[in-house]
């Protein structure tokens, strides 16, 4: 089979190149998206800028909340496997609540209910949406990372300790790198799913892609072309992000299980 990559490139180098190419493609799409939309029939063409801004906000929501969600996931996973019982209870409660309640309720709670708890917790629409999305995806990431931590063979941990590594260096150098690679597929799937879940920010007034489409539908009274265009933009974004996530998986697949 012919390859588009030079023959001397390793699989990790090809994966890095694919990841970089897909990332640049995503940035190019965000920058140039008003041009193809402007050529579309009305009501899409005359609202191209609104769709473009909504698309950019959707990606911003996904990136910001996704990165925070990974950090929260690591912290909650470590709490869940901690020997310190209060940490296990707090982490378990957080995961139970976030996974057991609808994301829509969480978005509304952060935006409307938290300011009633304390005025300092009042946030603008974008920040509230990022907080709710990050808390939600963080709970799912925590379970993925916890599974990865538990999947690391105990023999490797014992071998590291026998070589004189203390508990901290054993975790940093042996346990966590392997757990991260094991957890990577569900983690990247959670980020791609987060792109679609970000549409719920529409309910608190964030002008992301779904909100932009709804505004155009309200003024044009043409639901079919508006929501077809919205769905196509989501498909393009999820396709590019899937390419990035696949490249990330292959980049960290040191054992070569993905071929």
Pick the CATH number of 48-251 from 1.10.3720.10, 1.10.10.10, 3.40.50.150, 2.130.10.10: 1.10.3720.10
Whether residue 161 contacts residue 170, with contact meaning beta carbons closer than 8 Å, is answered with yes
Q: What are phi and psi of 200, to 5 degrees?
A: -70, -15
Q: What is the dihedral of CA 131, 136, 142, 148, to 10 degrees?
A: -120
User: Which position has the token pair 């969480």?
Assistant: 106
Q: How far is CA 232 from CA 52, 58, 96, in A?
A: 13, 14, 34
Per-residue pLDDT tens, the chain, 259 aa: give them.
344 445 544 555 555 555 566 666 667 777 767 777 778 888 998 999 999 999 999 999 999 999 999 999 999 999 999 888 999 999 999 999 999 999 999 999 999 999 999 899 999 999 999 999 999 999 999 999 999 998 888 888 788 778 777 888 888 888 888 888 888 888 888 988 999 999 999 999 999 999 999 999 999 899 999 999 999 999 988 888 888 777 777 766 644 454 4
The tokens describing 244, both together, are: 């990035």
DSSP classification of residue 205: T
Give the C-alpha separation, 76 to 67, whole Å: 14
Q: In this predicted structure, what is the pLDDT of residue 15?
A: 55
Q: List all residues 6 or more positions away from 170 whose beta carbon is below 8 Å from its beta carbon.
A: 157, 160, 161
DSSP string, 39-107: TSPTTTGGGHHHHHHHHHHHHHHHHHHHHHHHHHHHHHHHHHT-SSHHHHHHHHHHHHHHHHS-HHHHH
Q: List all residues 6 or more positions away from 65 whose beta carbon is below 8 Å from its beta carbon.
A: 129, 130, 131, 133, 134, 137, 194, 198
Whether residue 190 contacts residue 137, with contact meaning beta carbons closer than 8 Å, is answered with yes
Q: In this predicted structure, what is the pLDDT of residue 1?
A: 37
Q: In this predicted structure, what is the pLDDT of residue 226?
A: 94
Q: In this predicted structure, what is the pLDDT of residue 18?
A: 59
Q: In this predicted structure, what is the pLDDT of residue 124?
A: 95
Question: Does residue 38 sit in helix, strand or coil?
Answer: helix
Q: In this predicted structure, what is the pLDDT of residue 34?
A: 77
Q: How far is CA 246 from CA 18, 19, 39, 154, in A?
A: 9, 8, 32, 29
Give the C-alpha separation, 197 to 210, whole Å: 11
Whether residue 68 contacts residue 130, with contact meaning beta carbons closer than 8 Å, is answered with yes
Cα atoms found within 13 Å of the Cα of residue 14, Cβ hemisphere only? 14
Whether residue 69 contacts residue 133, with contact meaning beta carbons closer than 8 Å, is answered with yes
Q: In this predicted structure, what is the pLDDT of residue 6?
A: 55
pTM above 0.75, yes or no: yes
First to last CA, the chain: 14
Query: Can you count the helices (H) and strands (E) in the chain?
Result: 12, 0
Q: In this predicted structure, what is the pLDDT of residue 130?
A: 97
């Amino acid at each position: 089979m012919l390859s588009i990559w030079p023959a001397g490139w390793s699989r990790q180098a090809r994966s890095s190149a694919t990841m970089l190419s897909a990332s640049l493609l995503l940035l190019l799409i965000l920058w140039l998206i008003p041009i193809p939309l402007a050529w579309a029939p009305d009501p899409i063409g005359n609202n191209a800028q609104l769709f473009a801004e909504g698309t950019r906000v959707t990606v911003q929501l996904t990136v910001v909340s996704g990165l925070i969600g990974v950090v929260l996931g690591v912290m909650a996973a470590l709490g869940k496997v901690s020997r310190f019982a209060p940490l296990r209870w707090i982490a378990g409660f957080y995961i139970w609540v976030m996974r057991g309640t609808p994301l829509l309720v969480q978005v509304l709670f952060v935006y409307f209910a938290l300011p009633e708890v304390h005025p300092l917790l009042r946030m603008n629409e974008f920040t509230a949406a990022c907080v709710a999305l990050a808390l939600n995806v963080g709970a799912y990431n925590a379970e993925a990372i916890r599974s990865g931590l538990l999947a690391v063979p105990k023999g490797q941990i014992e071998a590291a300790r026998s070589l004189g590594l203390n508990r901290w260096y054993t975790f940093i150098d042996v346990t966590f790198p392997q757990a991260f690679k094991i957890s990577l597929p569900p983690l990247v799937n959670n980020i791609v799913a987060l792109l679609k879940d970000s549409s719920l920010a529409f309910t608190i007034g964030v002008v992301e892609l779904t909100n932009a489409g709804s505004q155009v539908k309200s003024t044009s009274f043409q639901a079919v072309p508006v929501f077809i265009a919205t769905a196509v933009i989501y498909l393009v974004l999820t396709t590019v992000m899937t390419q990035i996530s696949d490249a990330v998986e292959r980049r960290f697949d040191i054992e070569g299980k993905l071929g």
